[in-house]
Structure 1
Amino acid sequence: MTAPQAIPGARIAAPTAGTYEMLVQAVVDYAIYMLDPEGYVASWNPGAQRIKGYDAEEIIGQHFSRFYTEEDRAARIPEQALRIAAETGRFTAEAWRLRKDGTRFWAMVVIDPVRRNGQLVGFAKITRDMTEQRLMQLAALESERGFRLLVQGVVDYAIYMLSPEGLVTNWNAGAERIKGYAATEITGQHFSRFYTPEDIATRLPWRALETAEREGRFEAEGWRLRKDGSRFWAGVVIDAIRDESGTLIGFAKITRDLSERREAQIRLDESRQQLFQAQKMEALGHLTGGLAHDFNNLLTGMIGSLELLRTRVAQGRLTDLERYLTAAQGAASRAAALTHRLLAFARRQTLDPKPTDANRLVAGMEDLLRRTVGPAIRIETRLAPDLWPVLCDPNQLESAILNLCINARDAMPDGGQIVIETANAEFTGQAAQDRDIPPGGYVTVAIADTGTGMPPEVQERAFDPFFTTKPLGQGTGLGLSMVYGFARQSGGHVRIQSAHGAGTRVKIDLPRHSGTAEAEASEPMPGAASRARAGETVLVVDDEATIRMLVAEVLQERGFAVIEAPDGPSGLKILESDMPIDLLITDVGLPGGMNGRQLADAARQLRPTLKVLFITGYAETAVMGEGQLEPGMHVMTKPFPMDALASRLGQILG
């Protein structure tokens, strides 16, 4: 559609008096009427009738002062309004006016003089009903007044305003009480005077305003200064204030004195630390007591067997000596297992983490688990499809699952069911925080039983070392603590869900591995590929002469040439020589200022392809570095059988 075209030569008719009359009569939102020079109503439009309530025939000829309140008439406001309009050319005002029924409304008034040939012939008066706007304005003023009274009445918080530049523009009673300044002496001063010299040096006040302006709010706790120079610990909030157009007009600042709360928190932390220390000493007492009991039993078996062996040899009674050797070796093996469990609880065991398929591991254990728990207990596996690989020590995961199944068996003396379940899980936000693990993907291995369950007081202590509910002699109290230590050392978490009489569910969460799980390798037979090839030489470094002797004899029996060193510096001198060395076997905790890892690193600088086997009583951080051994480095945990050492040599050198 096109716009209408102008007609050439056409003229727009000039408005007439009748046109203006029609316009005025059409307006209903404004009272528009004429007054004669003395103030008597001469005309009246529908808007005047709607707003004021008078018909034209009853108001024309009446004085306009009747629209004013009694107070305004007594003050002769109507006469003053006409005089000002006549003298200045216009009168404007806002005030209360009266309707015909006596009700008041808030009016905006304009009075203009009307002249003809310079002579005043009357006044044009326009009135608009602004009652709704006025009531809103009064409500806002009342709200602001109430808010000001509220702010001024608050004495526990310093509440004040800042200009965009950070100058104090108002000040409440709480600010005066907390900071010590009266409003008259602080208004117009920069708020940075409340900050310490250290914070001023780092421009913290200005950075706080920048943060509030950029992000809308700044929150912090820190030391602030009072007028007398004393310090108090403050909780601070700064909010940016903007007008309707979004322009920054200042900042609202709230400061609270948190000194007492901070001191109370410090005292509470000290009390907690003292309680923690007491609990730690109690746990240590249980630990050492249980450890001494178990080791004394094992040592009695070893010492007694060896003494009887010595006696029988001295007497020439050489028959049936095997049982004493078997008894001593069995006690020593149980002592080794006990130290492994202790290290697991302390998270100091030597782990050999590998990408592991937990489903395949569980499936491979089913026969062992069924034999272990017996025919009265059913085992069901619920293995998640597409399970992520997990980075952990598969042997320790097997031990953890076995321990949990044994615990489940013992909780079901009359038989029952064990369910082993795997699943993928994502822990983020609060879920990760509750478990004290980094956010991300985890693989969950859960073992649930239908046994007697645990009451809350038992659950609280379930991971404590040597804590057991089993009868004396039927449990070490290290099973769950070992599981806990393994999970935490692997970067995961373990949880117990149980109720007395309702069974127990233990869930192990282990970190997801981003790669693929390793294929199962066939285990070499003991002693396989463990014979030395011609000229193979091993350097053995250990400060314990007995260990050096035993390791050297095992190696020599298998054809290896052996060089011994009692400490790191001695071993390094040998490595710096021209002697051919194919393998370095070293303890980790060595005397002489150089530990085993440092020796291995120095050896790798001299002989980059040298293979290394660490033998250690526990996994020191000096050995593991960032948690992974470098290629060509291996580790065995003491104590170990000599044939296991020979087999490991076959794997390393073969």
Structure 2
Amino acid sequence: MISNETKPRILIIDDNPSIHLDFRKILVADTESQNLLDAALAFFGDDDAPQDDGGYKLDVELDSAHQGEEGYQKTLAAVEEGRPYTLAFCDMRMPPGWDGLTTIEHLWKADPHLQVVICSAYSDSTWSEITKRLGRSDRLLILKKPFDNAEVMQLAVALIEKRRLISLASLKREELEQRVEERTVQLKERDQALRQKRKLEALGSLAGGIAHEFNNLLQAIMGYTNFAMEDLCQDEQPYDDLSHAMEATSRATAITAELLKFSRQSPPEKSIRQANEIIDTMTVLLKPLLSSRIEMSVEMCDDPGFVSVDLDQLSQALMNLCINARDAMEDGGKLSIQLYRQSSTDKTDCARRPGSLECGPSDFVVIAVTDNGSGMSEDIVERIFEPFYTTKEVGKGTGLGLSMVFGTLEDHGGCVTVESSEGSGSTFRLFLPLVSEPVEDSLCPIASDESAWTGGTETILLAEDDAIVRQITARVLISEGYTVIEAVDGQDAISKINENPDSIQLALLDIIMPHQSGHDVARHLAEVSPETPVIFCTGYDAALNDDAGSELQTSQRLIRKPIYPSTLLQEVRRMLDSHLACLTL
């Protein structure tokens, strides 16, 4: 199809040279016939008709062919040049070569969109015979010789306009088809990303439930082991044995923490950081893991800005990407890490990729990790964020690394994209929303002497539905001089608050309890004694990020199970001293 900007081209195919002159006078030369001008004015309207010294002519390009074969060759050449003819006037009798119908058959083979006007002085063929041979077509008209000048002009103008509108409609259709295709691809990618998200959520629920019970068991193991160690001499073999048991418990605790990070039931502990801190923290740990055959380059912009991140989680996500890049370059190569800012109006790097959810409107810090390794096929790219999917050998990969990257970026309000092809390496981009400035810590000053964070005489409400964990926690607190009011569940805790409204100086609450949650108990306590500090304890809390009522206040703190006795005592003392400091200001 021709574009709107192409000047219309008309081909005259006739063996009589005078006919070519006649067409040129009618279509592109000034005429003396007022009837011809009137015809143009009638077609265009008085205001729109082009004028030229009182006459009218078309802004067209005329071309001539004196035989059908010549017309066919010119039509082929015009199509190959990308400047096809808009219409052709074709004579019916052109001895000794092709007749008009044979010529038209070839013209339409060369250009199926060409409009043709048959010019004939005789009734060589009936309309029925013509349509039987050429088929019925809206691209075919008949003009009887001798033809009227105004009729020729009207035909030319009408057919040029018709071809223009057809071309415009074709362009619109192509544009619409392209937009439909792009939208279909986008919807398919979003569907893949949403299915990926649902897989993570399902596995996360399972992992979170396991972690909750596992953390309570670790709390019991850790607590009773610590009690036993307190009664032993450090030089004795049983003490050494229990120390190894405590180390194993610590490793189990770390595994549970990683499980919660994968399941994203452990919310990120965010703080305002300069974006380049993420790179600095990660590269220190990464360099020893790279072989001497891998050349690493780091490029950071001068003013990367601030982001709200869990530095440990983001550093781990970057480590996962860099280690994958290392494994993709078995024979060595180049690993590039880039940090730059990107405005929300700049869509250069925001092409959606399988497995990535679209980032919302924001200005971003972008961290790009690029390698020139083996790359990935399209089929692999579509699955790399699926949990437990790995291309590594058995025993060399769990298939959770990129799933954790995916979840971590979503938890931070960002997204991850990937571009890769086999033999050409891969580029992962992490998008993190920029924040305007660091938020100052609003906590009241607290005692700085950590040796004082061990014991006290205050009264503490302890609400925990696991009997063993409750007994261990109470024993630790009582051994340091605290008075403990125990509650077996949330409803019991509320009853204890009502019975002792003026005695409770701190509440230690498990978040997940029967009847009433720890958050419900905290809200009730706030109504009875608004200033009383609260420490939440949890193995995991699936609703911590979504429940507005669970957002921590200045007088609240969250600690995660399993809790070392020393950590518990320090946090209790910290909150009590912080509360006292606020009261004395």
Q: Normalising by the residue count of structure 2, what TM-score does the alignment of the two structures yield? A: 0.54
Aligned ranges 1:218-617 → 2 under 5 Å: 325=242, 329=246, 332-373=249-290, 377-428=294-345, 434=352, 435-516=357-438, 528-529=450-451, 531-532=453-454, 534-576=456-498, 577-592=500-515, 594-617=516-539
Contact kept? 2:454, 2:566, Cα under 8 Å: no
Letter in 2 for 1:638: K
Deviations 1:170-212 (A, max 9, x none): xxxxxxxxxxxxxxxxxxxxxxxxxxxxxxxxxxxxxxxxxxx
Deviation string for 1:26-71 (max 9, x for gaps)?
Answer: xxxxxxxxxxxxxxxxxxxxxxxxxxxxxxxxxxxxxxxxxxxxxx
Q: Give distance in 1, aligned partners of 2:316 and 2:434.
A: 20
**What letter is aligned with 1:359?**
N
Give the residue type in structure 2 aligned to 1:491: G
Q: What SS does the corresponding residue of 1:585 show, helix, strand or coil?
A: strand
2:312 partner SS: helix
Give per-residue Cα distances to partners, 1:129-154, cap 9 Å, x unaligned: xx63553224569xxxxxxxxxxxxx
Hey, what's the Cα distance between the residues in 1 that align with 2:266 and 2:391?
25
Secondary structure at the aligned position of 2:266 is classed as: coil
Change (3 A) 1:425 1:538: farther
Partner deviation per Cα, 1:260-300 (whole Å, 9 max, x = no partner): xxxxxxxx9xxx9xx98997899699969x989x99xx99x
Alpha-carbon distance in structure 2 between the residues aligned to 1:394 and 1:456? 32
Secondary structure, aligned partner of 2:486: strand
**CA positional deviation for 1:488:** 0.4
Measured after TM superposition, the shift of residue 376 of structure 1 is: 5.6
Deviations 1:286-333 (A, max 9, x none): 969x989x99xx99xx9xx99xx9xxxxxxxx9755676566555554
Equivalent residue, structure 1, for 2:148: none
2:52 alignment counterpart: none
1:487-516 residue CA offsets vs partner (Å, 9 max, x unmatched): 101111012233334333322211111222
**Structure 1: runs of 5+ lacking an equivalent:** 1-101, 107-130, 142-267, 310-317
Q: Secondary structure at the match of 1:477?
A: coil
Distance 1:633 1:482 in 2: 29
**2:267 aligned counterpart, secondary structure:** coil
Query: Paired residue for 2:561?
Result: 638
CA distance in 2, matches of 1:461, 1:334: 31
Cα offset, 1:567, TM superposition: 1.4
Conservation of the 8 A alpha-carbon contact between 1:452 and 1:501: yes
Kindly indicate whether the alpha-carbon contact (under 8 Å) linking 1:530 and 1:649 is maintained by their aligned counterparts in 2.
Answer: no
Secondary structure of 1:615 counterpart: strand
Cα drift, residue 403 of structure 1: 2.8
In the alignment, the residues of structure 1 paired with residue 316 and residue 389 of structure 2 have an alpha-carbon distance, to the nearest angstrom, of 19
Query: Is the 2:544–2:551 Cα contact (8 Å) retained in structure 1?
Result: no
Report the CA distance shift for 1:500/1:103 in structure 2 as closer, same or farther (over 3 A): closer
- 1:415 & 1:504 partners in 2: Cα distance? 15
User: Shift of residue 541 of structure 1?
Assistant: 1.5
What one-letter code is carried by the residue in structure 1 that aligns with 2:339? T
Deviation by residue 1:363-394 (Cα, 9 ceiling, x = unmatched)? 24443332344666554332221111111222
For 1:90-129, what aligned pairs fall within 5 Å after superposition? 105=34
Q: Could you tell which deviates more after superposition, 319-328 or 336-345?
A: 319-328
Q: 1:565 to 1:374 in 2, by over 3 A?
A: farther
Given candidates 543, 553, 557, the residue that maps to 1:621 is 543
When Rg is computed on C-alpha atoms for both structures, the one with the higher figure is 1
SS at match of 2:435: coil
TM-score normalised over the length of structure 1: 0.48
Structural RMSD (CA):
4.7
1:380–1:579 Cα change, 3 Å: farther
Give the secondary structure class of the aligned counterpart of 1:603. Answer: helix
Residue 402 and residue 540 in structure 1: after superposition, are their counterparts in 2 closer, same or farther (change >3 A)? farther
Give the CA deviation at 1:588.
1.8
Q: Which residue of 2 aligns with 1:155?
A: none
Partner Cα distance (1:277, 1:391) in 2: 24
Letter in 2 for 1:135: A
Q: Specify whether residues 625 and 342 from structure 1 end up closer, same or farther in structure 2 by C-alpha distance, changes over 3 A only.
A: same
Query: Does the 8 Å CA contact 1:527/1:647 hold for their aligned counterparts?
Result: no
Residues 409-464 of structure 1, C-alpha deviations (whole Å, 9 max, x = no match): 43344555443332211224977794522211111223334443333332222211
Check the 8 A contact 1:454/1:500 in 2, yes or no: yes
For 1:276 and 1:372, locate their aligned partners in 2 and report how far apart those are by CA, in whole Å.
33
Between the two proteins, the alignment pairs up a number of residues equal to 377
SS state of the match for residue 382, structure 2? Answer: helix
Tell me the CA shift for residue 646 of structure 1.
Answer: 4.1
Structure 2 CA distance for partners of 1:432 and 1:379, relative to 1, 3 Å: closer
Q: Which residue of 2 aligns with 1:132?
A: 37
- 1:357/1:105 Cα in 2 relative to 1: closer, same or farther (>3 Å)? closer
- 2:343 is paired with a residue whose SS is strand
Alpha-carbon spacing, 1:360–1:287, altered in 2? closer, same or farther (3 Å): closer
Q: Is the 8 A contact 2:203 2:263 kept in 1?
A: no
Per-residue Cα deviation, 1:622-654 (whole angstroms, up to 9, x for no partner): 566448532222223334544444444455445
- Secondary structure class of the residue paired with 1:621: coil
Q: Which runs of 5+ in 2 are unaligned?
A: 1-30, 47-183, 226-234, 578-585
State the alpha-carbon separation in 1 of the partners of residues 563 and 440 from structure 2: 25
Distance 1:377 1:326 in 2: 40
Distance between the aligned counterparts of 2:450 and 2:305, measured in 1? Answer: 34
1:451–1:502 CA contact under 8 A, matched in 2: yes
Identity over aligned pairs, percent: 29
Separation of aligned partners in 2, 1:493 and 1:284: 15
Distance in 1 (alpha carbons) for counterparts of 2:334 and 2:570? 39
The structure where strand makes up a greater share of residues is: 1
In structure 2, the CA distance between the partners of 1:438 and 1:412, relative to structure 1 (3 Å rule), is same
**Bigger Cα displacement from structure 2, 329-338 vs 377-386:** 329-338
Q: Secondary structure at the match of 1:457?
A: helix
Deviation at 1:398?
2.4
Q: Relative contact order: is structure 1 or structure 2 higher (C-alpha 8 Å, sep ≥ 6)?
A: 2
Q: Secondary structure at the match of 1:506?
A: strand
Q: Identify if the C-alpha distance between structure 1 residues 621 and 278 changes in structure 2 by more than 3 Å, giving closer, same or farther.
A: closer
Rate the CA distance shift 1:369–1:587 in 2: closer, same or farther, 3 A: same
Which amino acid in structure 1 is aligned with residue 506 of structure 2? Answer: L
> 1 CA distance for matches of 2:237 and 2:421?
52
Residue type at the aligned position of 1:136 = L
Secondary structure at the aligned position of 1:437 is classed as: coil
Q: Post-superposition shift, 1:356?
A: 1.6
* Number of the residue aligned with 2:160: none
* 2:363 aligned counterpart, secondary structure: strand
